[in-house]
Structure formats: C-alpha cells, structure tokens
Structure 1
Amino acid sequence: MNAVEANFDGLVGPTHNYAGLSRGNIASERHRGQASSPRQAALQGLAKMKYLADLGLVQAVLPPQERPDITTLRRLGFYGSDTRVLADAMQQAPLLLANCSSASAMWSANAATVSPSADTLDARVHFTPANLISKLHRSLEAATTARVLQAIFPDDEYFHHHSPLPAHESLGDEGAANHSRFCSDYGEPGIELFVYGRSIFSSADSPVRFPARQTLEASQAIARKHRLKQDATLFLQQNPAVIDQGVFHNDVIAVGNRTLLFCHEHAFVDPKPLYRLLEQRLGAQFRLIEVSENEVSVADAVSSYLFNSQLLSLPEGGQLLLVPSECRENPGVWSYLQRIQGESVRQIEVFKLNQSMNNGGGPACLRLRVVLNNDELSAVNAGVLLTDHLYNRLCDWVEKYYPDRLLPADLADPALLRSSREALDRLAQILGLGAVYPFQIEPGPRP
C-alpha cells in the first residue's frame, strides 16, 4: 500500500530559555543563563516546516506544552495562587522552577516511538510516549504528549496508543531519537533499529563522563508493546565513548532513511550486524555512508550536529539532507558535505536554527517521523497538517504571543504564564485539538 513519511515538528514554546538543564548536552550547558528569543526560535522552526511542505512533503505540527508547569510545582509543595507559586519557587528553588518552565517538548524526536502498520502484527500504527526519566524537565512531558497524540491520531481502527513505560531508571526511554527505520518503500515491511546506551543486566562498558539515557530493556519493551514482527527489529548498543563526548542520543551520531544509513564510524559498539542485516534485507538498494574520524571528528560532528540533520526522500526521487547552518560554519564538515552531495545524497539544504541549536537540538531533534498509508493519513486530525493558510496563522500567532527576549529570571513573571496559557488555548483551537492542557482540564487557583 502507498505510504508516506510525515514529519510532525514540535512548535517551540513561549518559555524557550537557556537554563542549561541537560547534563551531557554540551550546547545546552554552554549557553546556560544567556538570553533567548522564543519568538525567533518559533519562527525559525516554522520556516523549516514551510520549506519542506513546499517541496511536497507531508508536514505537520505538534503543539508546545504548558509551561511553567504549575501543576508540578504544586506537587512539589508550593501553594497559593499561581503568582505566589511562581514567586516562592523562584526564591526557594529556582532550579525547580527552571525545570518546570523548560520548552524542551519542542524536540519532538523524543516525544514517542512510532511503528508503522507495515511492521506490526495488528496492522495498526503504534505510539508509545517516551518517559524521558533521565532529565527532570523532560520527564514532565509524557502525560500531555499522550493526550496530544491521541487528539491527532484518534481513530483506533488505524492507531494504537500505549502508555509510557514505568518511570524507573532501568526503563529509561528517550523516544525516536534512538530509533530508526529502514525499508525499500515506506509502505513495505521494514527493519526497526533500536539503539540503547546501557543494559541493566549487562556488564558491558558504560560511559563514564555522561549518563547513558536509553536502556536495552526499555527498547525491548517497546518492541513487544508495538507487536513488531520478529524479523523487523534489531537492538544495537551505542558506543559509550561517544556518549562521553556529548552524543547523548543516537540521532547526534547517525541518521537513516529508507535504504540509506549515514553514520559515524564510532557510532555503535559493533555496527557489523546492522550492516549485514540491511544488506540482506535491502540488497543492492542499501547505501552506507560511514564517516571516518579522519574525515569528521566526533567533536566536530557534535558541535555542528552533522548527523542530527534531516534525511528525507524527495517526491521526485533522491534524498535531501537538511543541515543546520553550523555545518556550513565548520570548514571541515562543510567540505565533507560537498564531497558527498550528488552521490547518495542528491540535495543539501542549510537552515538557520540557532535558537534551537544553542539549547542542544538540531533539525532532527525537532521532528517526529510517522509513516502513514493513505487511509491512515486520511484519519489524522487535519488541523495539524501544515498548509499555507495554517503557516500564516501560526506566524501571526507567534508574533502576537511570544516574547522577543527571555532570561531564566523572567520565568517567575506571572504575566508570562498568563500570556502562555492564552496562547496555548488559542493554539488548541487553531489546530482543532480540544482540551489537552492541564489548565484546560484541571480546576484550581489562578493568578
């Protein structure tokens, strides 16, 4: 059956700020405390979405989450009006306030793991929101993510929604940032690659400097939940040495699409089983671009986010690699990209996403890939599919509600909370999502 890969990009939220909350993410830590521009960040992300939609690709949006997360601050013991909760949190526990104000849901590659119907025993698309337990600020996202996904993919004839894995360190799940799928055509059965950083039952080497966020046990549980066909999965360990160099997710060191795998030679502990399986299943169609350390060092790959680029199949054939402007600014990386263009990669496009990049997320971080056949695509909530009309409405919405400049100290301003809630309430109407936010669902004190 004909199928397409739709990209669901996370809209950057109004509280986008540089609090430096993600240990192991070098860019996030480097920009801690600096001023951000939520408005510029959101418009940069929308410009990328618009470009891909104009190419004829299926492009959609995922909404931001409610931040500051007053519900969580109340669970942590702060009480009274929303204004008092914010003021007390800033005075007594500013780091908790920063965690409850992060706009990190913008990186929707971490939102969930998605398996297409061609790979599952019940022939439905399966979704499991990531528990993201390795970071406090990200662990707050799963419940809203689940409601949003159910609002966008509501028909249980085509879609099966699972609960996140239990919130325990042995089941750390970071979503599609550690998941790739290979196939001859999107509608054909594929191979789903789950990359993990550690196993709780193994004495294999683990990173020393930074934590390994994804466990083998979490990946195996998701494969079982998604009822994946036995020959459709492969589990591979990420190289602990590159995790210690800032490769906190596999999508910082490798990216795949259909028959092409683009990765660094040090991405995996042992890549040979993957290469053999792809050669067996895809035959002569399989293309491997393995970048050596001499060509591009791991350090340069991390700083430029070379592998966190989007690898996309163009409607007219061939593959597009959409890279952040930091790749062009690195002479070695840019020289390498010029050498591979025209071979396995037909087209390379550069986008400025510095607001997201400064916080540690590139083009691939910003999107969740969902393969859909024609019937499934027709069953998607059409309000989230990007059109020229929706793009213009969203740009106007951003201009109206988003601050141009934000510092971490501004997160306690009750005016920011009120404006953000008003913005999200309006956005839910624009996208036709219904009530998905805690402030829309849960009664309670207000400012």
Structure 2
Amino acid sequence: MTTAVMDNEKMKTFKELESAVRSYSRGWPTVFEKAKGYRLWDTDGKEYIDFFAGAGALNYGHNNDTMQDKLIEYIQDDGILHSLDMGTTPRKKFLEKFQETILKPRNLDYKIMFPGPTGTNTVESALKIARKVTGRETVISFTNAFHGMTIGSLSVTGNSTKRKGAGIPLNHTVSMPFDQFVDDQDTTLYLESYLEGSSTGVDLPAAIILETVQGEGGINAARMEWLKRIEEICKRFDILLIIDDVQAGCGRTGTFFSFEPAGINPDIVCLSKSIGGIGLPMAITLIKPEYDQWTPGEHNGTFRGNNLAFLAATEALTYWETDDFSENIMERADFLKDTAESIVEKYPELKAEARGRGLMQGIAVHVDGLAEEICAEAFKRGLIIETSGPKDEVVKFLPPLIIDEEGLSKGLEILEASIKHVLA
C-alpha cells in the first residue's frame, strides 16, 4: 500500500464527515494520539518534533506535569468548572498571581478583563472599549496584520482571503504600512502626515492596533524605535494604543510582553493562546483603569469563566517569578537565529532572509511555493512546522518555549534535510 493510499485511509473520517473549512489536518495528514513537552506521536507511534506549539497556544509545552496534577486534583475534588464571571477560587488566585508576578514588577497598572476565551474575543473587546471611551469610530491597523476571524477583528486584519470570508463590507478601519513595509522609509512619517492632514480622508481614530511581531503576516518584527514612535503619535493625537499580544506575548519573544524591550506602555493589551498555560481556552484584555468604563455585562460571554484554564494559567505564571525562564528563552533564540541565518547563507537558491525575534522566528523564502514544499517534506520526516505570510512564503518557527537545545537541534536538522531534498 502506498503512502498516499495509507494517508487517505487515515483521514477518511475527517474528509467524509468534517467541514471543508478544516486546514491543519490537510497539511499534516495523520491522526495524532499523544503529546508531551515538545513531542507528539500519531496512532502509528511515529514521533514528531513540534515547531508549531498549537499556533502559539502551547508555550509551556504539551501536558505539563504540574499543571496536569492540579487539573486532575481539582476535578476529583468537584471543583467548579463553569461559572461565567462569578467569583471562584481559581479566578481569585489567577488575578492575584498575575498582579503580583506580571504587572507589579513591570510597573504596569491594568484592570484585568475576561472576555470570551479566544484571541478574537479579546480583540473585539479592545476595539469596543476604545470606541466607547473616545466616542470615535475609526481604528488604524497595519499591512499584513492578523487579529482574528470575527467581524471586528477581520476589519483590522490585512489578509484578503480572510477578509472576504466576512461576506460584508468591513468598515470604520484604515490600514497603514507596517514598519519596513516600504524599504528604507520611515512609515511613521506616512502615518503622522495622514493624521495631520485635513484632506486625507482619514478621521481621527479611536485606536491604533498592532502586533509587535506579525505572526500570520510573515514574522515581521517591528523595530523598537518604530514602536516608540507609534506610542508618541498616539499620545500626541489622543489615540489609544492597543497591542495585540495574543501570539507574540506570554514569553514568545523572550519577555512576558513582547513590547517590554521598547519601553512603551499600551493603553490596552490583548492576551490569549498561551495565557491558558496548558492549551485550555482563555483570553484576557488588560485595560488602563481610566478606560475601564464598561457597564456590568456590557461585554460578556458564557465561557468567560474557564476555571481549569485559570488553574493552569496560575501555575504557568510561576515560570515568571524570576528572570531565569526569560534568559533561557533568549539563549535558545540566539541559537535559532544563528542557525536560520546560516541556512539562508548556505542555500542561496532559497533567495531567503531570516526574520523575527525570541522563539518567534522564520525564514522567508522568495521562491513561489518552495516554503510550502519544505514544510510538507519536514512533516514526512517528523517535524511539525507551518508557513505564514501573504503568499505562505515564510517557514515559521514557533516551538514550545520549554524546548531544550537537543530538541531544537534535531528539529533544525530535519528542516535542513528537507530543504536539501526539495532543492534536489
């Protein structure tokens, strides 16, 4: 039986019964059964190294032992699972731990809001409160941005295919060029001139929303000086600054918040994915106290009280009690960067460049279709890795933050073997 026939047989149930909207099961045609740390195994017992980490939802790896124990104990003790926004012990402990471990040491003052449990929910809440507080409608976003799949989030997303899925016009937003979108040009000057002009057609916005590293948009990392200039422009024009840290946050770039190295203080911060610790659905929106002007229940959702996620999230925050975890991430990030740059230099046929920071990096391959071929071959060899970018041109590195050098090295060896095979 050929590999293609076996793959078809494995995926038969999904093809016959599941909606055509599925995507990851198409690119990785196997049935996964078990996972631990930075490894997964399928039903055939084949092992894979994970450079995907649940699209950034598994920064602390698969099935962390301590988190597992806490969840099992809580369930066996008949702990409350569903509670909307009622007060519960896990909710209380998370709020206190986040305040003491994350906000206070960074001199950040935010109210913590629990919207619905996904990234697009926190973005929707951020857009709504910004418009409510300022009384303005327009929001400025950036080229190649991705902020979610619901209508408000899609309106500030750049990808044309995803935007078309809305089925209606996406209004009250303006897209501006992200940092280095135009070579050797300061795009903040372009933004500022539009806000200053009386005939540009751009209304004074309620907010500017951005990712410091654009994940789905192609691992485009903004420079710190660019981020500082955006904050200055926001202050000058009384515009709220929203940082979407759904994928780039929770340590992905080395610091807990991706914006920390820039020394900026956003008005609103969106977190999801790895804030849930072990992959459980959870999101939070951080709002400066003066802008926390919601009326009770004005933005709500049935599943904004995920107590199992609160438990795992509280345990995950213990990684941030000292600087050790952050320093370890940066050490592995340097190794990843050096290897990526060496691959770019070693294989000029890729016409490639290395991008990103922390453990959110990628290799942009400027040959149509080649990045997708490389990732498909890597899967066959036991590496889970995806593409990103407007043309799926970036081989995207998103391994769990707990990965050791051995796992990182092995994964990169598989990647290089896949590049050699595809180029041959």
- TM over 0.5, yes or no? no
Which TM class, normalised by the smaller chain length?
A: under 0.3
| Larger RCO (CA within 8 A; separation ≥ 6) | 1
- Given the two structures, how large is their TM-score scaled by the length of structure 2? 0.26
Find the structure with the greater CA-based Rg.
2
- Given the two structures, how large is their TM-score scaled by the length of structure 1? 0.25
